[in-house]
Amino acid sequence: METDDPAQLDHVMAQLAGGDLAFAVTLANGWHAPIARLVRTLLREMGRPDLAGDREEVAGHVIDACFVIADRAGGWRPGEAPPWLWARFAIRAEVARSIGHRCVELDDSQYDGCPPVPVDM
């Protein structure tokens, strides 16, 4: 159930700061849309629009993001930036760790006919 109640968000964050990790799921359910928007933005910034368009992929990263927020909940201050924006860089690091480095197949045929490069040893 999505919500935009600041008092409810403050309560969820206080519970997370107190160590109740069950509230990470409450955060994911109650504020899924804005956290998913952030995740999709991060994925596109990383050159992965294919993953940004995959609802299940994004949903998994939303859960991960909520646990990242939970790990840092004690430092968040009510009335300031929403926790998903406040923890944006940590969430980005987790998304990057999760998806790994993007790689592209090397097409050796584009080098056919090129002279060898001498290597001095």
Mean pLDDT of 85-105: 91
Q: Given this model, what pLDDT does residue 105 score?
A: 75
Q: Does residue 12 contact residue 40 with C-beta atoms inside 8 Å?
A: no
Q: Per residue in 35-64, pLDDT tens?
A: 999 999 999 999 999 999 999 999 999 999
Sign of CA dihedral 88, 32, 70, 78: positive
CB atoms within 10 A of CB 29: 14
Tell me, what DSSP letter sits at residue 80? S
Mean pLDDT of 27-41: 98
C-alpha span between 43 and 25 (Å, rounded):
21
C-alpha span between 66 and 68 (Å, rounded):
5
pTM of the model: 0.82
- Domain architecture of the chain: domains with CATH: 6-102 (1.10.1740)
